[in-house]
Amino acid sequence: MSADYQVHGSVAVITLNNPPVNGLGLATRTAAVAGIRQAEADPAVTAIVITGAGKAFSGGADIREFTSPKALTEPTLHTLIATAESAAKPVVAAIHSVCMGGGLELALGCHYRVAAPGAQIALPEVKLGLLPGAGGTQRLPRVLGLEKALDMILTGAPVVSDKLAGTALFDRVFDADVDLLPAAVAFAESIAAVRPLPKVRDRAVAHPDASGFLAAVRERVDAMAGPFPAPRECVETVAASVTAETFEAGLQFERERFMYLTTTPESKALRHAFFAERAAGKVPGVPPDTQPRPIASAAVVGAGTMGAGIAMNFANAGISVTILEMNQEALDKGLAGIRAVYERSVAKGKLTADKLAQRMALITGTLSYDALAQADIVVEAVFEDMGVKELVFRELDKLMKPGAILATNTSSLDVNRIAAFTGRPQDVIGLHFFSPAHVMKLLEIVRGAQTGADVLVTALALAKKLKKTGVVSGVCDGFIGNRMLEQYLRQAYDLLEEGALPEQVDRAIEAFGFAMGPFRMSDLAGNDIGWHIRKRRAIDSPDFAYSKLPDRLCEQGRFGQKTGAGWYDYQAGARAATPSGTVHAMVTQYSHEIGVERRAIPDTEIVERLVYALVNEGAKILEEGIALRASDIDMVYLSGYGFPLHRGGPMLYADMVGLPAVLAAIEGFARGRNGQAWTPAPLLVQLAAANGAFNA
């Protein structure tokens, strides 16, 4: 059973019991319905209390059943709610801790609701591209009024129970020192004889000018919802709480719109991202009882672009951090940069002056390696040069205390070689932050051949603590994200050679939904970074072939925004990109030099070539075991590379297009110019033949 039944005096208490948050899965619904029936049949029982065991009243639908037929098996959530609402004896929801989604909808079907203070109340379905589908859109407006209810349904954000005291949502919100269950039982006894039983469905929706208000909301939502249909559907279903002829008709409309939303690609993408984020924290093969190492103090080597941002991450999480630099000037510059970022947050009202002082107090600069020795973790962020990394890691190996984690933020060097500079390769791991490191959500956790399981688990726990999305990658050039990006950029350059201009490529992929096209992105990051990497690659592997266009750009000093010119022109100090006549001439001249006749390239081809280049390389990464699962690749692209959320990441997008169609397109490109870049990944060929999916 996943709900318990007990009788306290004349009150039956049904306790939902399905850890961790009492999700309303089939077993819990069955037990709760049985409990209500049993209470109705027992002449000694005069009232019923429904509450939740442990850390929640109920977090809503059981996510483990989310897409399984179990969700539609009787008793469904609708049946449970109808059973409570139509019970012959009063049903009281006793709410504490977490009451969300289906949990709140169940409470709204009860005759009375009492709550402990501090409970999180929410209808978060919109965040998964859905709407509350078990009466929430019809009942919440009847207790909170149209405006407040719509706000909660459109944002999905939790509101604390105390803030809702005095509304018709709660009959009582108790004081903090009151024990909820005895208080709820006493309340149930006090109302046991009251008839008729109050029902939320019988209440009217309060608003002085519902149609005017709804018109204004429609306009606002149209402007803000972007590609997502759910917010608009939320507005229309909540509107039905006012306009539907009957309550039942409103419920029916809600049900239809809910079912429609479950079929939209946008909702599939959001649900995929939700599960992908949770899956990313799990590593098969790591013993489940592996304990993370404690991280109470940190150190960072290098206070440049990345080192400074990484140090802020630790300080923001309350972890003291020591930053080592080569000389006072570089150290002062790094620390001043950190302070400037915090001061901008204070100016914007996002941080208090006190917090700024607290965070700066956690950050110490040093020029001496000895100051790092006692840190639990050290993250190296010096120049991207194996010789420099070797010096740093040999030094760290000599002085760091035993058990300290030695991490590198390298974006392209071999983590196994770096580990081999130490006598403790089990303690070495890659922590690949993205720029700006204090903002970007993604953290690629690069597992070396000898990285210890406890070090890996510590890195995943640290990612959570730093509020990052940690994704595990094996060792290869570029890891998951940049290895795929290389193929994407190769296509971007080929498209320029064949007839496109930077702004056309950017416009096409931004219309697909990317936050920024490849050329605007390169200008922001600095075109010189890729230039250096390409030069190194050309030395390491002389047959490495790539377009010389971006090199030519760099040879002209066009490094991007920081030099006022890159793929675009920039006004001094401004970020707005203006198409550049110089670049147009350079690109056209280059096509001429290499003997390519420029053609008009349709936007659809641009999007397919860029996105399928990611997909094909992603499939190889998956097949080689560099990524543990397709959804990890999606997480990398959603959280680190601006891939459109409503498309769910490159691998889910390919699944939704259909792998046979993706493969057919890739085979077509393989017959075109520079077709050698398009060898289909064997995994893609195999899955397409079986009509399978990467995210099966």
Of 51, 313, 411, 458, the residue at the interface with ligand NAI (CB under 6 A) is 411
Nearer to ligand NAI among residue 12 and residue 381 (C-beta)? 381
Nearest approach in angstroms of CB 635 to ligand NAI is 17
- Residue 258-297 contact track with ligand NAI, rule CB under 6 A, x = bound: ----------------------------------------
306 is an interface residue for ligand NAI by CB under 6 A: yes
Q: How does DSSP classify residue 543?
A: T
CA distance readout (Å), 247 to 76, 200, 253, 314: 19, 10, 10, 52
Q: How does DSSP classify residue 58?
A: B
Q: Minimal CA–CA distance to 647: which of 267, 280, 274, 275?
A: 267
Please tell me which residue in 40, 74, 85, 105 is annotated as part of the active site.
105
Q: CB nearest ligand NAI: which residue?
A: 304
Stretch that binds ligand NAI, among 243-251, 408-416, 487-495, 559-567 (CB under 6 A): 408-416
Peptide bond into 75 cis (omega under 30): yes
Nearest approach in angstroms of CB 525 to ligand NAI is 6
Q: What is the spatial distance between Cα 603 and Cα 506, in angstroms, rounded to a whole number?
A: 10
Q: Could you count the other beta carbons within 10 Å of the beta carbon of residue 228?
A: 20
Of 296, 326, 594, 690, the residue at the interface with ligand NAI (CB under 6 A) is 326
Q: Minimal CA–CA distance to 479: which of 514, 430, 440?
A: 430
Nearer to ligand NAI among residue 382 and residue 587 (C-beta)? 382
- Residue 617-636 contact track with ligand NAI, rule CB under 6 A, x = bound: --------------------
CA distance readout (Å), 613 to 4, 122, 465, 680, 681: 54, 40, 34, 10, 11
Sort strands 112-115 and 98-100 into parallel, antiparallel or unpaired. Answer: unpaired
Nearer to ligand NAI among residue 155 and residue 305 (C-beta)? 305
Nearer to ligand NAI among residue 40 and residue 384 (C-beta)? 384
491 is an interface residue for ligand NAI by CB under 6 A: no
Secondary structure in 3-state letters for 45-62? CCEEEEEECCCCCECCCC
Nearest approach in angstroms of CB 549 to ligand NAI is 21
Side-chain-side CA neighbours of residue 274 (13 Å): 17
Give 84's contacts (C-beta < 8 A, 6+ positions apart): 36, 50, 91, 106, 109, 110
Nearer to ligand NAI among residue 236 and residue 384 (C-beta)? 384
User: Any catalytic annotation for residue 105?
Assistant: yes
Amino acid, single-letter form, for residue 597: E
Stretch that binds ligand NAI, among 35-43, 303-311, 347-355, 657-665 (CB under 6 A): 303-311
Q: Are 620 and 494 in contact (CB under 8 A)?
A: no
Of 261, 303, 319, 681, the residue at the interface with ligand NAI (CB under 6 A) is 303
Q: What is the spatial distance between Cα 256 and Cα 125, in angstroms, rounded to a whole number?
A: 15
Q: Are 125 and 103 in contact (CB under 8 A)?
A: no
Q: What is the spatial distance between Cα 148 and Cα 124, in angstroms, rounded to a whole number?
A: 14
User: Any catalytic annotation for residue 125?
Assistant: yes
304 is an interface residue for ligand NAI by CB under 6 A: yes
Mapped onto helix, strand or coil, the DSSP state of residue 382 is coil
114 has which bridge partners? 94, 172
167 has which bridge partners? none
Nearest approach in angstroms of CB 475 to ligand NAI is 15
302 is an interface residue for ligand NAI by CB under 6 A: yes
Please tell me which residue in 125, 254, 277, 486 is annotated as part of the active site.
125
Nearer to ligand NAI among residue 30 and residue 482 (C-beta)? 482
Q: Minimal CA–CA distance to 255: which of 134, 84, 81?
A: 134
**Which tokens hold the place of 447?**
């597992």
Q: Minimal CA–CA distance to 509: which of 525, 526, 496, 492?
A: 492
- Residue 358-397 contact track with ligand NAI, rule CB under 6 A, x = bound: -----------------------xxxx---x--xx-----
Could you identify the residue written with the tokens 């996943």? 2
Q: Write the burial class of residue 357 (CB in 10 Å: 0-12 exposed, 13-18 middle, 19+ buried).
A: exposed
- Residue 517-536 contact track with ligand NAI, rule CB under 6 A, x = bound: --------x-----------
Stretch that binds ligand NAI, among 154-162, 214-222, 404-412, 650-658 (CB under 6 A): 404-412
Of 60, 101, 229, 307, the residue at the interface with ligand NAI (CB under 6 A) is 307
Nearer to ligand NAI among residue 383 and residue 544 (C-beta)? 383
Stretch that binds ligand NAI, among 52-60, 171-179, 218-226, 322-330 (CB under 6 A): 322-330
Stretch that binds ligand NAI, among 132-140, 210-218, 320-328, 584-592 (CB under 6 A): 320-328
Nearer to ligand NAI among residue 391 and residue 585 (C-beta)? 391
409 is an interface residue for ligand NAI by CB under 6 A: yes
Q: What is the spatial distance between Cα 695 and Cα 629, in angstroms, rounded to a whole number?
A: 8
Nearer to ligand NAI among residue 254 and residue 325 (C-beta)? 325
Nearer to ligand NAI among residue 125 and residue 444 (C-beta)? 444
Nearest approach in angstroms of CB 310 to ligand NAI is 9
Nearest approach in angstroms of CB 526 to ligand NAI is 7
Q: Are 427 and 415 in contact (CB under 8 A)?
A: no
Stretch that binds ligand NAI, among 165-173, 325-333, 469-477, 500-508 (CB under 6 A): 325-333
Q: Minimal CA–CA distance to 183: which of 94, 98, 110, 103?
A: 94
Chain centroid offset of residue 251 CA:
31
Q: What is the spatial distance between Cα 666 and Cα 649, in angstroms, rounded to a whole number?
A: 18
Name the H helices within 54-196.
Answer: 77-85, 102-109, 136-144, 146-155, 180-191
324 is an interface residue for ligand NAI by CB under 6 A: yes
410 is an interface residue for ligand NAI by CB under 6 A: yes
**Which tokens hold the place of 300?**
């960072």
The separation between the first and the last C-alpha atoms of the chain, rounded to the nearest angstrom, is 31
Nearer to ligand NAI among residue 439 and residue 545 (C-beta)? 439
Of 233, 254, 266, 325, the residue at the interface with ligand NAI (CB under 6 A) is 325
Question: How many residues make contact with ligand NAI (CB under 6 A)?
Answer: 26
Nearer to ligand NAI among residue 23 and residue 430 (C-beta)? 430
435 is an interface residue for ligand NAI by CB under 6 A: yes
Q: What is the spatial distance between Cα 157 and Cα 611, in angstroms, rounded to a whole number?
A: 33
* Interacting residue ranges for ligand NAI, rule: CB under 6 A: 301-307, 324-326, 330, 381-384, 388, 391-392, 409-411, 432-435, 525
Which residues are known to be catalytic?
105, 125
